[in-house]
Amino acid sequence: SAKPVAVAVQADKPDTGKLIPHGVQGKQSKIDLNDEQVSNAKAIIAATKKAGLPERAAVISIATSLQESKLENLGHLGDANDHDSLGLFQQRPSSGWGTPEQITDPEYATLAFEKGLKQVDGWQDMPLTEAAQ
């Protein structure tokens, strides 16, 4: 008699090929995240799931926020500010991204960014840097 075989499945583990469809190019770096940055990354993932978008959208969104704000929900930085850029994605109220209160809300900011992302033809299959831009 054959014994049943236990198989462990992690349903939430995304496919690497979908997350990084172009492979890893160039030298890689590592960044240690503080609690705020981890919380903001989790908020981006939650908003992406809420929007029903694939994991690749979360990867692009997190990478964009890392580039724009180091995953910090930035308020007005005075003279160091780039115009009126705010929040995780450095979105500008004057460019129609929303009010300062909206674009400093991680869920709203992510959904606004991803609304723009969805308007880019082929974003799912292009290199991350091109999709983010």
Q: At which residue do the structure tokens 């349903």 appear?
A: 11
Helix (H, G, I), strand (E, B) or coil at 74: strand
pLDDT tens track for 26-60? 777 778 899 999 999 999 999 999 999 999 999 99
Rounded-to-integer distance, Cα 91 and Cα 18, Å: 27
Whose tokens are 């983010």? That residue is 132
CA proximity to 47, closest of 115, 90, 110, 118? 110
Higher pLDDT, 126 or 13: 126
Per-residue confidence (pLDDT) for residue 40, from 0 to 100: 96
8 A C-beta contact, residue 108 and residue 86: no
The pLDDT score that the predictor gives to residue 38 is 96
pLDDT, residue 20, reads 72
pLDDT-derived band at 11, boundaries 50, 70, 90: low
At 68-105, the pLDDT tens digits run 999 999 876 555 555 678 999 999 888 999 999 999 99
Least confident of 11-20, 43-52, 123-132: 11-20
Give the model's pLDDT for residue 60.
96
